[in-house]
Amino acid sequence: MNLQQPFGSHWSAQTPFMANMTLQQIRLLISNHPWFKGHNVDAWFELPDETLSELQSEYQQEWISLGQQMFTLQPFSFSDRRFASDKWNDPLFGSMAAYYLLNSDFLLRLVNAMPIESEKPRQRLLYLMEQAIAASAPSNFLASNPDALSRMFETQGASLYTGMLHLASDMREGKLRQCDAGDFTVGVDLAITPGEVVFENELFQLLQYYPLTETQHQRPVFIVPPSINKFYILDMRPETSLVRHLLEQGHPVFLISWRNFSQKQAHITWDDQIEDGIIRALQITREISGERQLNCVGYCVGGTMLSTALAVLAARGDRDIASLSLLATFLDFRNTGQIDVFVDEELVSYRERTIGGQGGPTGLFRGEDMGNTFSMLRPNELWWNYSSEKYLKGEKPAPLDLLFWNNDSTNLPGPMYCWYLRHTYLQNDLKSGDLECCGERMDLRALDMPAYLVGTKEDHIVPWDSAYGSTGILAGKKRFVLGASGHIAGIINPPARKKRQYWTNTELPESHEAWLETAEAHPGSWWTDWFEWLAEHAGPQVPARDKMGTADYPIIEPAPGRYVKE
């Protein structure tokens, strides 16, 4: 599909069958796609004549206006970041960008007007169209990118040579890097909060951190990061480290560092990660600290797994948890956002057969595959802009720690991944109270400890209405807070930067929209609100403990440990 001229040439836009021709192109795009098997696709293309005429008329008016601008050599200007440089003001290149944006808008409006019977196939069709549109931008091609052409002439072709080296390097790694591998070193630039590894098994290392205050709260904070990423998103640089901020607030901190699983651990199940991972780490934290009551914190999938582990413990009669904090976490997978376009029975069954050990071998779900999938959910921001900068212009990406972490992906054991995929994204029965985990019937409604729940307003990984859904599952006293921005920047938002805002509400109505209508906005970071809440559940101040580990759990090596560097 040529999105710069979707109707074959500009003059064809003036034919009376313009919209119908575009519909036929969309039909070709999806005709053999497995996502649309079993759907009455033919009915989707039966748009009312008045709808087609209205879209066609608006398109033609815009097309004529742009044509006049081009032929009278008027400069173009764009708010789109892909076409922001002055070189796109030129009538030739500017017209390419302008027609591309016009056609992109027309195609998406056409898809939205199609009478598709349910939301999921519509979202899938929109996803495919958005991918095609993003890939077809004139900025992605050397001949139609004035910035890349100018750079090529300025460097006498050296920029193209450097771009090819970038491409070869990314192909070897199997991913498009948004930050060079040598820009940071874990343990040197990132994850440098002083601590020790005090336990390890084949799943994780347990990190205990040195105090940064003379006195500390009696009850430790026990943190479970997501196993699909490395833990140091919570301990980046000192000024942005959530771990360091907790220590500065006087909390003893223990944290799980998950292994980057290899084929040797491909057999590991969901139950293994709960029992031999989180429950084991929690029990060791109790033994080392001498405190049975812990303040438990889970981020993203780590929060889902932590809640599962606490529900298993509750079924065994262990309810000695001081508090639970869930940061951008699913318990109710009612709305999984853009990721939902990929998940169906066919995909899950295929994974179960190929890597999940169900009628086939066990294997790994590669971190590179997951990273590339998440990047393609935002193709213009996380894929094609880097492709253009690196491959066409030969430029090195800016050294950003968040993007370095984003590229530092981890593998997941196939059986664990498949169980998670089926019972969360596909069936949403983790909350049912009927699932068995680690030999126990697991019921999240048994979690009656005080809970602090955080969603972020622009999160495309854990939409905040689903994060809010946890308020209807957990049984204890709850506080829900909404942060600004997205899944990472909305969570990693230290107070000193005085950026963004957050919303609070003492009431918890059933609807997240009703909650927001009466919520109070506050400037800055939600961390300050959380620190105040956490202190209420952390016990009295006692002399800080600067001896790491115990005789039973001696120091193995300094934090951040080996596992995070694998």
Contacts of 298 (CB under 8 A, 6+ apart): 223, 224, 304, 305, 306, 307, 324, 325, 326, 327, 329
- The active-site residue out of 179, 296, 300, 438 is 300
Report the candidate in 68, 51, 67 with the shortest Cα–Cα distance to residue 9. Answer: 67
- Residue indicated by tokens 């599962």: 308
> Length of the chain in residues, anyone?
566
Report the candidate in 323, 158, 210, 112 with the shortest Cα–Cα distance to residue 555. Answer: 210
Report the candidate in 330, 337, 333, 373 with the shortest Cα–Cα distance to residue 226. Answer: 330
Pairwise CA distance, residues 225 & 7, whole Å: 49
DSSP-assigned states of every residue in 335-363: --GGGGGT-SHHHHHHHHHHTB-SSS-B-
Report the candidate in 272, 248, 245 with the shortest Cα–Cα distance to residue 259. Answer: 272
Amino acid in position 42: D
What does the block give as tokens for 73? Answer: 């050599």
Alpha-carbon distances of 219 from 131, 319, 322, 384, 438, rounded to whole Å: 49, 15, 8, 47, 27
Do the Cβ atoms of 438 and 368 come closer than 8 Å?
no
Do the Cβ atoms of 397 and 180 come closer than 8 Å?
yes
- Residue indicated by tokens 């300025």: 154
Contacts of 168 (CB under 8 A, 6+ apart): none
User: Could you count the other beta carbons within 10 Å of the beta carbon of residue 195?
Assistant: 23
Pairwise CA distance, residues 23 & 38, whole Å: 20
3-state secondary structure at position 110: helix
Burial of 331 (0-12, 13-18, 19+ CB in 10 A): buried
**437 noted as active-site residue:** no
Q: Which residues of 489-499 are buried (b: 16+ CB within 10 A; e: fewer)?
A: bbbbbbeeeee
Amino acid in position 117: E
> Which residues, listed in sequence order, are joined to residue 295 by a DSSP beta bridge?
221, 323
Pairwise CA distance, residues 44 & 126, whole Å: 13
Q: What is the CA radius of gyration of the chain?
A: 26
Residues noted as catalytic: 300
